[in-house]
Structure 1
């Protein structure tokens, strides 16, 4: 079907009962109720249409407004076939259009309304096009002492005039809102509506009101949308992959909790673990209240949230340890630990939230899913780590329950206590390593290229039904050996049916390619077919449908994703400049994030033909890149915050020493945060199944490269720029 992108405002049949009787009189004189003496089989033979179309009633109740019939969804295709017959069209009025309602009328979603719409324009165009709608929103209104959903619609000046005329002419009658030849609503006109603002009320659920508002907004689309395929599909990750993902995530969470207890002690570890669990509950609860669907990009946002939630606790504990080593009492050390860590936590979280807001505003689809989860998770993380854990500590201190707490264990007592690593001395080598990776990646990109997934290249879809239930992972592994390219297999409809998508020779339009792919599909899944099955039997009986489709991620969406990421990076740099009042920090942070992203892309173009698992560049890869951008900037801001603090305390100290000291003093925090996040992602990588292995591999690379970039790219670049500024200032003073 083709979406017109229009809101149709047509005069529907006003006298419903009379219209129904008129239709019955023209198509067939006998009504179903007069056939009580006849068998249903005999009636169906004489009146096949009315045997499956209930005229103007449902469960003995008359339908209202422009509704002329009700039918079971399984009969809709046959009814359409009857209504499109030439002899039927010749009888029906030319200005009558019969359209189905988009939503079922019963809880089982089995029955649908058939609407009779009177077309006012001879050419069949709508009386009022959707391009006049400037905005539409779903909100609540008080009706008869209770709150109900309504949809508010605003039109431009031209639409307002036409709408006023139409509503004046049709008071007491219904108008239909139609998209894709489906009726979304048919409200009655109560009064003339002027000014271009209208409210549509009814017994809407929040979801129905939101859908109707979106339909009205869709009238503003500049171009039509073609629905290439519509199916009911199973989980895109596959049930086995989902189960594996849940198990791996739970195991990672347990290991993370154990790590915190082993590194900081039982009581501090348990308090941090409690905050982590609350963070997950808060995030999931808010997502559930928004009725959000948790997709793979959303899971990426949750992984990033876990890493940052742990990071906040690690920052607080590391600063508390420093205060204890300085000889302060436990209560004073905890208070100062929270106070000194607050700025780093605030800056790193706010920088990431700014990134999320930009991505949500400019992004679409998977990018918005990632941004939503990340923003919610960061707010939850800030609340649990900074405020709730402090309440627990204050309560325990008041009851004198923390006598021997040192925030260390026998294993970690002397670990990274006073490191003296000269990071800046290795800065030139630090620059060369990522530069070499990026150069090799550029060469590989120009020769080998990336393993672009079906999202970017388009491909062919084949729906295959087997004689028994099959596993999607098993089918995909069978076909990987046959098809040189991206292969995606998902359950569709029932467990014995799958949809195979492949971009094998997608640019080749030779008709022989289709036969070649069908042969490869047959060879790949032959072991799942009955013995003796031939290729002709496979293509004729087992392949239910096949089609060639364009990229599901269109160029405008890819461009939006690219612009969103770039703009987000600039916004991060601008915030750091505003907060730190030094452009060297902004440039260093921007360079670090850019280097990390380019290195990941380089590894993907260098390794996708070498590693034993798929390394596709698709929507999940974009989600992984977004995760790493958020993670990398968070790490960098924490180090910069310590540099700023040290410069404030010792403004005349040599900048080389200041930055090296800052890197060493935050090394324990960098090590802990990177290791804990690595544990989470590594568990998902190993146990999460093949479907999300490429996604988690990208995040693993990002954690390692992002940590490296903070130490050997962002901070050294900031030092180089600050040194030039200091030398220039010194030369100017010497010249006076």
Structure 2
């Protein structure tokens, strides 16, 4: 090896850099351990709510020492910023994918156009999008073009005053399209920036936010975040801030009286219809048993009204008919001169607002109040009541002053010590604010501060017009709520609504368990490999072990330096890399043993062994690296983490195997010391093996054919256990205090959700529960409804006295309840499934082309791809045949696709090594028959093939045993390694042999003719 000194210096410097990068992680960890010990000492378990108190105490402790020097000028804040990032599955936290509404953006660009063609196209696009893989804008263009004579550049659509600089009425649809695409992209970019500013101020370390292609989707990852409601509010709030004049209570009271009387008359009319039906019905229904509060007051169709009434009567109890349907819902009247019209219980708020928004009720408004609109106030913390406000609207429904004038916002405290949010406006806003406050002062009225259609406060003006543009929002805020409100106001409003189409919440205790199981599997796998290498190769194996430890240091150092995120699949990727990195050393050592067997000196044998193994090492790692790159490109979250560590591991293992191991071996042998590259037990192992693999190929074809046919048959009949990643839905990992029977629990879940599944997940006291209930619906109310129904359904199996809040936050010290939850919308599920299909197909095409270029014969590519298809079909078939009775989760999800691509990479790794040796034999033994060359190559690589497979299996089995959440993932890899080893010997090579035989004979004849010439 040339330039040994340079390699040695580089390895030492690189190792020091890695240690330096990892030192930040160590320093951050030690300080956090101190904070944890401090919190535990301050709040023992005997203290009520000790878990939350400890969390606050830890945070305050770390805040207080954040700027203190730890070592060489490095503070805790510095160390935390540069530590090795941990993903959600290791640290706990929240991951959401937001869909920015392109429909809202289009509507805004068109000035909320009422044009029939525009709205018809929007409705059609909404329907098409349910099963479409196109972006919203592309489907909108398609649907718009279907409308005869529809013109995007119409004055009542996009050729409006707001877009006058970009779109004119004489432009064609094709000319308008790129303008709209650009405008939409700008709006999504704006939404991204708004969200980034909000997230940066959220208070978690190492947040991640990124755009996902051109689809309008934005990924937000917040490791360590625990309050899902707070995160949901932060990322979905459009922050549409508006300032409106409001009516006083007495100005609206007469309208409420008139509305109540009208609704009462309507309900009494329906009662009479119902009584007539009851008189002619076989079963007389007592009209006093109808809960008239449930009657839809907007129903005008008599048949529908009767149907509703009879349905109500069927389930009714002895509830008297309401005397005053509107006023009976009011629990408190606003004071005279104040802005609060009435107070209503939350549970009745929807019904109350439905009454007020009834077109017939609205028609009762006097002319001067015809644009009045109602809005609920922000509920006080833990309150079951809502205040109602009456806002002075206008024809265009546009406020005099909006949040666009806000230049700064801060959370502060009032003179009474209450949390407030102060705002500063620009010059234009200040002028309008002075005008509005002056008018309010003169009229002794109030101004409502409305954020996303909720009235946060409606203060009166007591000191005259307010100049300077400074204003304040008061309310029953917590400190966090005040900070978040100031944050969203300062960041600005979203240009369109943002819906959560995929979310994942991981409890912190589950994350700690993942770390523990990952470290355990990592340590055991490492020890097993270190022992095996010394057992098999003696002192040379010890040098390989040192290189392996250096490799691990490099991997973690590079991850820390690149600020990559370490996930549980990422740890699996590192452990798998360790198993596969041994392959390079095994290849080298086996070649050296061959050279020594030929009688070469140790120096020459080492030199030629490294040289001859290089081609196989590079080919094997490049093919695996190609599948890793595809994973990196198409993957998100855990898959990307797995691919990142796999690719880094491939690069570092190549360097350590080729250069670092060589340094130790050359250094040991420079003084004439002998290095046997074997032990007494392994010296003659596989030495005289002479198996006729090709003779057995027909039997192998039959065996493989039977397994594949059985698997395909099962795929068509049993199918696969597809996870929510592919079908959409919600899944919860719930832990119980005692063991539970999934089939028994599932019956209660089906009764609650109509369709649900419950499976044991890891231990017998933990279930993975999946449901498609209301999968198409989004929003806080839906999520809360489903988790509440889940709590009620599981209550018989939960600890007595466990509250809903404790259940929903099961990651606390109680160790029961929801440990992990995930939601995937049906649209993104289709996208994930399609991306998975294309990723597998792309990896096959890329590898086929690489092998074709590398070996110059399509027969080699065909053999390799045939083996890969063989391996993938068998893995899928085994999963289909066994998922119903296996004692661990075997869902087909994104992690499974990562496993399939890893199987492809491993299978190709093995196959390429064999093909390299076959090509070498072709060149060395040109006169030998083709079958002898092929069998000779297979026998000569058998030691390497079995050795690599064994070390990799040791690693995988260790992870399978200790990393419970990854058992399905590891099982697929274990099957893949076994099948991949078999296929490289009995499928890939025989297929290549059967297709290349005639070509091989011609090559032999040509070589003979060339020799004669």
Pairing 1:97–2:398 present: no
Question: d(CA) in 2 for partners of 1:458 and 1:472?
Answer: 30
Matches within 5 A, 1:305-704: 305-400=577-672, 403-460=673-730, 479=745, 486-487=757-758, 501-503=769-771, 526-530=796-800, 550-551=825-826, 554-689=829-964, 691-704=965-978
Check whether the contact 1:297–1:366 (CA below 8 A) recurs between aligned residues.
yes
User: Measured at CA, do residues 552 and 319 of structure 1 come closer, stay the same or move farther in structure 2, by a change above 3 Å?
Assistant: farther
- Hey, what does 2:984 align to over in structure 1? 710
- 3-state SS of the aligned residue for 1:704? helix
Question: d(CA) in 2 for partners of 1:722 and 1:302?
Answer: 38
Matches within 5 A, 1:19-30: none
Pairing 1:286–2:554 present: no
Question: d(CA) in 1 for partners of 2:849 and 2:604?
Answer: 35
Question: d(CA) in 2 for partners of 1:300 and 1:396?
Answer: 34
Please report how far the alpha carbon of residue 687 of structure 1 lies from its aligned counterpart in structure 2 after TM superposition: 2.5
Residues 629-664 of structure 1: CA distance to partner in whole angstroms, max 9, x if unpaired?
A: 111111111111111111111122101000000000
Please report how far the alpha carbon of residue 84 of structure 1 lies from its aligned counterpart in structure 2 after TM superposition: 10
Question: d(CA) in 2 for partners of 1:224 and 1:472?
Answer: 43
Pairing 1:233–2:501 present: no
Pairing 1:243–2:511 present: no
Question: d(CA) in 2 for partners of 1:101 and 1:391?
Answer: 62
Question: d(CA) in 1 for partners of 2:674 and 2:757?
Answer: 58
Please report how far the alpha carbon of residue 181 of structure 1 lies from its aligned counterpart in structure 2 after TM superposition: 11
Worse overlay, 272-281 or 595-604: 272-281
TM-score of the aligned structures, taking structure 1 as reference length: 0.65
Question: d(CA) in 1 for partners of 2:577 and 2:408?
Answer: 38
- 3-state SS of the aligned residue for 1:554? helix
Residues 487-536 of structure 1: CA distance to partner in whole angstroms, max 9, x if unpaired?
A: 48999xxxxxx996413789999xxxx999999976766343218x999x
Residues 671-693 of structure 1: CA distance to partner in whole angstroms, max 9, x if unpaired?
A: 1000000011111112222x211
Question: d(CA) in 1 for partners of 2:961 and 2:190?
Answer: 56
Please report how far the alpha carbon of residue 483 of structure 1 lies from its aligned counterpart in structure 2 after TM superposition: 6.3
Please say which structure displays the higher CA radius of gyration.
2
Check whether the contact 2:736–2:817 (CA below 8 A) recurs between aligned residues.
no
- Hey, what does 1:261 align to over in structure 2? 534
Please report how far the alpha carbon of residue 618 of structure 1 lies from its aligned counterpart in structure 2 after TM superposition: 1.4
Please report how far the alpha carbon of residue 562 of structure 1 lies from its aligned counterpart in structure 2 after TM superposition: 1.4
Check whether the contact 1:614–1:694 (CA below 8 A) recurs between aligned residues.
yes
User: Measured at CA, do residues 578 and 462 of structure 1 come closer, stay the same or move farther in structure 2, by a change above 3 Å?
Assistant: closer
Question: d(CA) in 1 for partners of 2:758 and 2:739?
Answer: 11
Question: d(CA) in 2 for partners of 1:112 and 1:707?
Answer: 67
Please report how far the alpha carbon of residue 314 of structure 1 lies from its aligned counterpart in structure 2 after TM superposition: 0.2
- 3-state SS of the aligned residue for 2:506? coil
Check whether the contact 1:262–1:269 (CA below 8 A) recurs between aligned residues.
yes
Worse overlay, 558-567 or 319-328: 558-567
Question: d(CA) in 1 for partners of 2:420 and 2:498?
Answer: 24
User: Measured at CA, do residues 500 and 616 of structure 1 come closer, stay the same or move farther in structure 2, by a change above 3 Å?
Assistant: closer
User: Measured at CA, do residues 225 and 279 of structure 1 come closer, stay the same or move farther in structure 2, by a change above 3 Å?
Assistant: farther
- 3-state SS of the aligned residue for 1:227? strand
User: Measured at CA, do residues 77 and 699 of structure 1 come closer, stay the same or move farther in structure 2, by a change above 3 Å?
Assistant: farther
- 3-state SS of the aligned residue for 2:403? strand
Check whether the contact 1:452–1:618 (CA below 8 A) recurs between aligned residues.
yes
Please report how far the alpha carbon of residue 695 of structure 1 lies from its aligned counterpart in structure 2 after TM superposition: 1.1
Question: d(CA) in 2 for partners of 1:280 and 1:528?
Answer: 43
User: Measured at CA, do residues 187 and 625 of structure 1 come closer, stay the same or move farther in structure 2, by a change above 3 Å?
Assistant: closer
Structure 2: stretches of 5+ with no match in the other structure:
1-97, 103-186, 195-241, 248-336, 341-376, 413-418, 429-483, 751-755, 778-783, 811-815, 1009-1013
Check whether the contact 1:349–1:634 (CA below 8 A) recurs between aligned residues.
yes
Question: d(CA) in 2 for partners of 1:229 and 1:561?
Answer: 17
- 3-state SS of the aligned residue for 1:653? coil
Check whether the contact 2:632–2:643 (CA below 8 A) recurs between aligned residues.
yes
- 3-state SS of the aligned residue for 1:425? helix
Question: d(CA) in 2 for partners of 1:546 and 1:391?
Answer: 50
Question: d(CA) in 2 for partners of 1:661 and 1:724?
Answer: 19
Check whether the contact 2:890–2:968 (CA below 8 A) recurs between aligned residues.
yes
Structure 1: stretches of 5+ with no match in the other structure:
13-21, 28-45, 50-74, 121-179, 189-214, 492-497
Please report how far the alpha carbon of residue 252 of structure 1 lies from its aligned counterpart in structure 2 after TM superposition: 1.2
Question: d(CA) in 1 for partners of 2:837 and 2:711?
Answer: 19
Check whether the contact 1:359–1:568 (CA below 8 A) recurs between aligned residues.
no
Please report how far the alpha carbon of residue 97 of structure 1 lies from its aligned counterpart in structure 2 after TM superposition: 2.2
